[in-house]
Amino acid sequence: MTARVLFVVPTFNRAPELPRTLGAIARQNWRADALAIFVVDNSSTDSTGEIVAELGRTLRCRVDYLRKAPEGPTIARNLGLRRADADYVAFVDSDVELDPDWTAATVAALDGDPRLAQVGGKLVFAHDRGVLNSYGGSIGRLGLAWDHGEGAPANSETRDRDVLWVNTAAVLMRPQAVLAAGGFDERFFYGYEEADLGLRLAIAGWRTRVVPNALAMHHVDVRIGVSHPDVVFHYTKNRVRMGLKCLGWGWLTWFVPATLAYGIADALLHRPHAARLQALLWNVREIGDTWRLRRLAQQGRTLPDRVAIAPFLNNWFPPQRLGGLRRRAVHGTAREALPDDRVVPRRR
């Protein structure tokens, strides 16, 4: 029987790109009655609603639409998980184009291994499909996360690989496993939500994998500007909160002083200084809520860190620093004085 797949597409002000993203989903080599699309609109101010309505009349699969408050992609993804009436849920960003065989490749992996919770593939840059954007995700010992293989030749990855997390630009998930692990942390407005979920799944005994024949193209701007201070704030606070929630007591005893020392040094040495310091203070202020979620994560633990996490930690730091940019510079990209177009709420 063909597995039923719900594609959840969070979006904000990307009306011109939606026909490409949703059209690629509808053209999957999969039965049309086993595909459905759920677009979650974070209060776009462009013609997103009208575009989705038109696509719903013309695409071969069902298209549902929900407009919600601008609370970010984590809440949008959890809405998709909770309403899923499908065997699997796929998350696809609205600037991503799937290869026609992406569904077949990822479903085959989940069908073939009942301990897999999520599967991704090769995410390549649309401006140069010979360059990897991501082949799974990596985490350093301080909790710093980065896309594995970013900037490497796309043909350098030819084998299935177990990883700690997958970029939600294009990923297929087993919804029961993800919901049992608590879903996405809804206070992670931007950054580290995938790594945090991957760690909670790992300690609960689930695995995450990338497969080379699941191809997706990421249509990002080749011009890279500097990160908005609020985005830096979210990245910093989320990294610390992730470690506090997910690590076992043995690792937590060294993670807390190490990440505190790193965080203070990072805030003193790198701009925006205030945003980095405020992120550390946020974690002090919100420790009660973080500890509540820690108890839930640790109650679901079936594996120690040395089995679930340690095999994937090979470095302290990413191979290439962001250097204050929105994304790491790779082949075909250029640093420019661009405003950061990622929308962030007031710091929560």
pLDDT in tens, 240-298: 999 999 999 999 999 999 999 999 999 999 999 999 999 999 999 999 999 999 999 99
* Beta-strand relationship, 62-67 and 145-147: unpaired
At 226 the pLDDT is 86
pLDDT at 144 over 80: yes
pLDDT per residue as tens digits for the range 70-103: 988 999 999 999 988 899 999 999 999 999 999 9
Which stretch of 11-15, 214-218, 322-326 has the lowest confidence by average pLDDT?
322-326
Which stretch of 15-19, 105-109, 285-289, 323-327 has the lowest confidence by average pLDDT?
323-327
The gap from C-alpha 135 to its chain's centroid, in whole angstroms, comes to 12
At 331 the pLDDT is 66
Name residues whose C-beta falls within 8 Å of residue 18's C-beta, 6 or more positions apart in sequence: 9, 11, 39, 48, 51, 52, 55, 94
This model's pTM is above 0.75: yes
Supply the mean pLDDT for the chain. 93
Asked if 163 and 177 touch (Cβ cutoff 8 Å), the reply is: no
- Give the confidence band of 180 by pLDDT, cuts at 50, 70, 90: very high
Domain locations in the chain?
Answer: 95-348
At 153 the pLDDT is 96
